[in-house]
């Protein structure tokens, strides 16, 4: 077997994403999840690639008043309250600062059917403004140990479920009782996302996620086919015309939609967790034209470090395709296991590839 040129962490991930053969299995983590420390420096020296989540655009609401305040509650939690003033009345959402990329929602914008007009105005008021120079500057500033990933946003239906708009419980009730009103919001979000596709496609970042956190046990396969898959197709066509890659963050139990995901044109599946979804080998067989970018199984972080190392090598062996497999950390890891487990995962990668 020919000896492959040693790649930088960023080159290694991009080669795998584009279907080429990297010199070893890539290992990534969202940079916000790993504090700058000695262990982080050692991991980067051994090939860990840090993923910076960014956007090549911003969303503004020129006809909506927006106020946001941060405060500490009586339990010492940092809270964020955001208020939107529309011609039809005010909306507000309340969330706890999680310290990560997304805050934990406590109160959603939707409180009652009286809020439909307000939400529809808010969504229709959105304007998408490119911020290409800011995104391009990140690439140069961060260097070869980083990749900067773009984000289209959530799928229109998923935005109602997972974002500040409605939340799962409100969505399920309203889908049963006021479906026509829900679908008006959905259609408005479809049009909003269509404005994003071309902006991301023309931007400086090489790849983008579209949506994620889909829970098939809530929406079911039929809704997935009707309200999710067409948007992956449309967005992919737009990005592929400009040579960009696109994937989705499927981090739930994907058993019910494995065959449907296979029929999407997505280039990669990110955050796949074999601790709850079908095994890695099955995913690789079902998706022969996609890169599998797993979340190292969250439940396995409770194992001892020798087991973490051994299971990592086992995952690579099971994947059986070094050109289509990336190991990532996309979900929270217990603080007391983070550094040791990341070292053990890197050790498992080294062991599989015979690196000392």
List the domain boundaries for the chain: 9-58+126-353, 62-112
What sign results for the dihedral spanned by CA atoms 253, 320, 4, 46? positive
| 279 pLDDT tier (thresholds 50, 70, 90) | very high
317-321 mean pLDDT: 91
Amino acid 101: pLDDT: 59
Residue spans of alpha helices (H) in 274-337: 280-286, 305-319
Asked if residues 122 and 84 have their Cβ atoms less than 8 Å apart, the reply is: yes
Q: Which fold has domain 9-58+126-353?
A: TIM Barrel (3.20.20)
pTM score, two decimals? 0.95
Count the helices and strands in the chain (H runs, E runs): 13, 14
**For residue 106, what are the contacts with CB-CB under 8 A and spacing of at least 6?**
79, 94, 95, 96
Asked if residues 298 and 275 have their Cβ atoms less than 8 Å apart, the reply is: yes
Structure tokens at 195: 């404005």
Amino acid 2: pLDDT: 53
Query: Which position has the higher pLDDT, 1 or 229?
Result: 229
Ranking 42-46, 216-220, 272-276, 322-326 by mean pLDDT, the lowest is: 322-326
pLDDT of residue 220 exceeding 70? yes
pLDDT of residue 285 exceeding 60? yes
What is residue 48's three-state secondary structure?
coil
- State what percent of residues in the chain have pLDDT above 70: 98
Amino acid 258: pLDDT: 98
Amino acid 1: pLDDT: 46
Type and span of the H or E element at 127: strand 127-130
| 322 pLDDT tier (thresholds 50, 70, 90) | confident
DSSP string, 149-209: EEE----HHHHHHHSSSS-HHHHHHHHHH-HHHHHHHHHHHHHHHHHHHHHHHHSS-SEEE
């Amino acid at each position: 077997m020919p000896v492959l040129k040693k790649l930088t962490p960023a080159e290694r991930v991009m080669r795998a994403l584009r279907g080429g053969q990297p010199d070893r299995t890539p290992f990534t983590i969202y940079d916000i999840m790993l504090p700058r420390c000695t262990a982080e420096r050692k991991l980067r020296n051994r090939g860990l690639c840090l993923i910076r989540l960014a956007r090549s655009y911003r969303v503004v609401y020129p006809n909506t008043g927006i106020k946001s305040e941060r405060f500490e509650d009586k339990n010492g939690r940092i809270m964020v309250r955001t208020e939107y003033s529309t011609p039809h009345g005010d909306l507000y959402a309340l969330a706890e600062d999680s310290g990560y990329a997304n805050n934990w929602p406590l109160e959603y914008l939707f409180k009652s059917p009286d809020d439909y007009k307000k939400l529809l105005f808010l969504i229709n008021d959105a304007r998408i403004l490119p911020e290409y120079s800011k995104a391009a500057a990140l690439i140069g500033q961060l260097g070869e140990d980083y990749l900067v990933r773009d984000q289209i946003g959530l799928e229109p239906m998923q935005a109602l479920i997972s974002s500040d708009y409605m939340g799962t419980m409100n969505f399920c009730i309203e889908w049963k009782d006021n479906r026509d009103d829900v679908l008006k919001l959905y259609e408005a979000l479809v049009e909003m996302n269509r404005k994003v596709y071309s902006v991301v496609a023309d931007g400086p970042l090489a790849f983008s996620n579209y949506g994620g956190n889909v829970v098939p046990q809530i929406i079911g396969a039929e809704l997935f086919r009707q309200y999710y898959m067409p948007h992956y197709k449309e967005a992919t066509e737009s990005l592929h015309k400009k040579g960009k890659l696109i994937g989705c963050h499927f981090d739930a139990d994907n058993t019910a939609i494995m065959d449907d995901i296979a029929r999407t044109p997505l280039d990669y599946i990110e955050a796949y967790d074999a601790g709850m979804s079908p095994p890695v080998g099955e995913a690789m067989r079902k998706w022969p034209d996609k890169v599998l970018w797993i979340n190292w199984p969250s439940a396995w972080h409770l194992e001892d470090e020798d087991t973490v190392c051994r299971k990592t090598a086992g995952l690579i062996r099971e994947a059986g395709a070094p050109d289509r497999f990336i190991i990532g950390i996309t979900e929270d890891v217990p603080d007391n296991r983070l550094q040791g487990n990341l070292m053990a995962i890197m050790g498992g990668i080294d062991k599989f590839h015979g690196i000392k």
